[in-house]
Structure 1
Amino acid sequence: MADSAIPTVDLSPFFTDGDEDGKKKAKEVIRQACSDYGFFQVVNHGVPLALMNRAMDLSKTFFAFPDEEKLKCAPPASDAPVPGGYNKQPERSPDKNEYVLMFPPGSSFNVFPTNPPEFQKILEEMFTYFTNTAQLMEIILSDCLGLSPNFLKEYNEDRSWDLMAAMHYFAATDTENTGVSEHEDLNLISFVFQDEIGGLEVQKDGQWIPVPPIQDTLIVNVSDVIQVLSNNRFKSATHRVVRTKGRNRHSFAFFYNLQGDKWVEPLAQFTTEIGEPPKYRGFVYKDYLALRKRNLTHPPSKREDFINITHYSIST
């Protein structure tokens, strides 16, 4: 296992006026991290530590309830691409976890727990803060790619498809120690806030690098859409969660998403304008979402048969 750490970036220069040198240095680290890892960590990111800690405490309280209590906020049948509310991985899935999924506050797809009573309010606050930080990160990534500052914002202006999950991973047993099998996120940008148990690992050069939990730190990874748009300039990192024997793990994950009807393909700035061939064929985002959803609902018998972004790769 690799013993190097993923980079940590201080975002405080972006919340004050005048520190252009601090912004430049932060962007340099982020640009390199997105090329090398697809992962980095941020501090002074704008999400209050007290809110993060309170959300984690309430999440642990909720998941400690018996199943009959948690199932009170199970999602009804709907046309949502993924169901809001309490969900549990199918028994046949190797990923042993349960989660509460929410869409933007006010969405009709949300089904909130009523116990603990404060949980809904805290989840909505967390969602709003995560959205604000993701919008800042969107501007930073546009600049790191040499695009106009508002490019990704204008390309991805619909916020109704964003998702946040409060997650509980069951303790490992003598025969099971995986939490979420290795994968890449399919959206644009993801945030992770994990408890003291840790378990998140990112792959680089065939080795797994642990991402230890650090208080008041958000883990950021660019995802499949960014990798395709940049024609592989930025990496959608392969990552996983390894569960700890005898210890439950809790985390929050925020997925800054894309509207389902959006067309995704390598940008001309990274292909025709510089004489490079596209590495992916274009696709409608919701079609890819449906393929990835099927990985969960009807998991293949072999891990190598799971669909990922290579489904759209162009052979050279």
Structure 2
Amino acid sequence: MAGSGIPTVDLSPFFSSNGDQGDKEKKLAMDAIYQSCSEHGFFRIVNHGVPLDLMNRALQLSKTFFEYPDDEKLKCSPVSAAPLPAGYTRHPQNSPDRNEYLLLFPPNSRFNIYPQNPPEFREVLEEIFSHLTRTGMLVESILNECLGLPPNFLREYNQDRSWDFMAALRYFPATKVENNGISEHEDGNLITFVFQDEVGGLEVLKNGEWIPVTPVEDTIVVNVGDVIQVLSNKKFKSATHRVVRSEERSRFSYAYFYNLQGDKWVEPLSQFTKEIGEPPKYRGFQHKEYQQLRMRNKTHPPSRPEDVINISHYEIST
């Protein structure tokens, strides 16, 4: 995987028990994840349990869907009652984002509007969602152990999977006169999982330098979000990243957001503050309050970049 810019971690040891050798492989994987999360919050995973043919099929069907006329795509117009606008959304022509996406909650959610076409798209979306949910639970348990938390601590804290969501995305080609991508940001959830087509465009900020996350077949990109950064009192970093759009081709990708129930209280855990004599770096907040502030960044963009709300809104000045 040389040249991919971020470390690649093999998860196969976590799916089998191979005695001492398996334990050594697990430790190597956890050491790599620990280092990545401590420094910049990005890594790749292989042997993650999501079938490659399913990932490729999902990308191909999303391309077919996004090529449909607007009237067909708008049959999946957003559901306003959902925590986020589930369904099809397209940013306006003059938006710097210049993308369109289909946002979905878990298959059994009452908020979902699945597309009727292509005919097999719904089945594939539901299957990919279920696989990524299991991957999310595995990576969450690995982070739990990396942080030295009690067994199953994060799973018990974050056991409601109904707030997870997934987006199939299409980024339009850039022109020479416009902002050619999505501005740098961090994700407001716990963990994000991304797989992309061969066009690429994802970049991560590492040691002050933007590193392209080049597409590598059968890998999933993982980044840590703001909730993990706050819970760990900044021991693990929320990944700063962006998408740079190609001037020649559309980019297609999927992002699965392993999220937190909206009423949950988020604050630095005592294991990283009181118990080790460290002051908390953030004041506590209700997760849905933060999500609403982040949504306002999109619906009512501030005129000045410095007024965009991110996790620093809750930082405690020292």
What TM bracket, shorter-length normalisation?
Answer: over 0.9
Contact 2:265/2:286, CA 8 A, preserved across alignment: yes
Query: Does residue 300 of the first structure (1) align with residue 302 of the second (2)?
Result: yes
The residue aligned with 1:9 is 9
1:254 to 253, 256, 261: 256
Contact 2:166/2:255, CA 8 A, preserved across alignment: yes
Q: Structure 2 matches for 1:7-156, cutoff 5 A? A: 7-18=7-18, 19-76=22-79, 78-91=80-93, 93-156=95-158
Residues 244-285 of structure 1: CA distance to partner in whole angstroms, max 9, x if unpaired? 002100000000000000000000000010000000000000
Structure 2 unpaired stretches of 5+: none
Contact 2:4/2:213, CA 8 A, preserved across alignment: no
Per the TM alignment, residue 196 of structure 1 is displaced from its structure 2 partner at its CA by: 0.2
Distance 1:196 1:297 in 2: 31
1:241 to 237, 243, 265: 243
Residues 211-264 of structure 1: CA distance to partner in whole angstroms, max 9, x if unpaired? 000000000001000000000000001100000002100000000000000000
Q: Structure 2 matches for 1:274-313, cutoff 5 A? A: 274-313=276-315
Question: Which secondary structure state, in structure 2, belongs to the residue aligned with residue 22 of structure 1?
Answer: helix
Contact 1:177/1:244, CA 8 A, preserved across alignment: no
Distance 1:120 1:294 in 2: 30
Q: Bigger CA drift: 285-294 or 61-70?
A: 61-70
Q: What TM-score does the superposition give when structure 1 sets the normalisation length?
A: 0.97
Aligned residues: 313
Query: Does residue 191 of the first structure (1) align with residue 224 of the second (2)?
Result: no
Question: Which secondary structure state, in structure 1, belongs to the residue aligned with residue 193 of structure 2?
Answer: strand
Structure 1 stretches (4+) deviating beyond 4 angstroms? Answer: none
The residue aligned with 1:162 is 164
Contact 2:224/2:238, CA 8 A, preserved across alignment: yes
The residue aligned with 2:265 is 263
Question: Which secondary structure state, in structure 2, belongs to the residue aligned with residue 250 of structure 1?
Answer: strand
Per the TM alignment, residue 96 of structure 1 is displaced from its structure 2 partner at its CA by: 0.8
Residues 268-310 of structure 1: CA distance to partner in whole angstroms, max 9, x if unpaired? 0000100000000000000000000001111112222211000
Question: Alpha carbons of 1:4 and 1:194: their partners in 2 closer, same or farther (altered >3 Å)?
Answer: closer
Distance 2:265 2:305 in 1: 28
**Identity level (%):** 67
Distance 1:273 1:50 in 2: 47
Question: Alpha carbons of 1:132 and 1:4: their partners in 2 closer, same or farther (altered >3 Å)?
Answer: closer
The residue aligned with 2:209 is 207
RMSD between superposed Cα atoms in Å: 1.2
Q: What TM-score does the superposition give when structure 2 sets the normalisation length?
A: 0.96
Query: Which amino acid in the other structure matches residue 17 of structure 1?
Result: S
